[in-house]
Amino acid sequence: MLSFSNKPKGGSKGAGKELQKLKRRDLLELLVEQLHEGDRLELELSRREASIVELTGLSDRLKDKLDAKDEQIERLTARLDEKDQILWSVFESLGKLTTADRTAFEGELHKLEQLVTVHYLGQFGHRDEAEAEGEPEAELEPEVEPEPELDDEADR
């Protein structure tokens, strides 16, 4: 006879006697219930395994994206370091300029600032307003203001 108890034989005589008292139909119903429970558990297991596979895939994609961002940060950090070196060399060079050279440089720098401003406004601000009104985009000419002359002795 089959034993349905999980406990060792002899430890649960009462459960064994109760099973012996059950009719064949009741035993079959118990077996069918256990089969249904096994099917339900297998279905739950397969759902959880699918969830694990999906989460693993998401985790791998996240790791790949983080690795790509880390590489991008490293490249940008290197570029920033290069630009910092260039700026320091420009600052050192500026310190060695004569007054006339400084005046000429400041004038050129002012022209450059105006060109950048015009370019920026043309790309982002001015163009959007012109398109909204249906007007063609007007070309902005950079205005160059003369720089005041510096006294040579004031710089020394």
Q: What is the pLDDT of residue 156?
A: 41
The Cα–Cα gap between 117 and 136 comes to 19
Distances 103 to 86, 112, 125, 145 between C-alpha atoms, Å: 21, 14, 31, 13
Q: What is the pLDDT of residue 21?
A: 76
pLDDT (mean) for 2-26: 65
Place of tokens 């005589």: 13
Question: How do the domains of the chain map onto residue ranges?
Answer: 15-96, 98-156
Q: What is the pLDDT of residue 106?
A: 84
Query: Are 121 and 140 a contacting pair, CB within 8 Å?
Result: yes
Kindly report the average pLDDT of the chain as a whole number. 78
Query: Are 115 and 144 a contacting pair, CB within 8 Å?
Result: no
Output the six-digit token pair for 2: 């089959």
Per-residue pLDDT tens for 93-151? 877 777 788 788 888 888 988 988 888 787 766 545 545 555 554 554 545 555 555 55
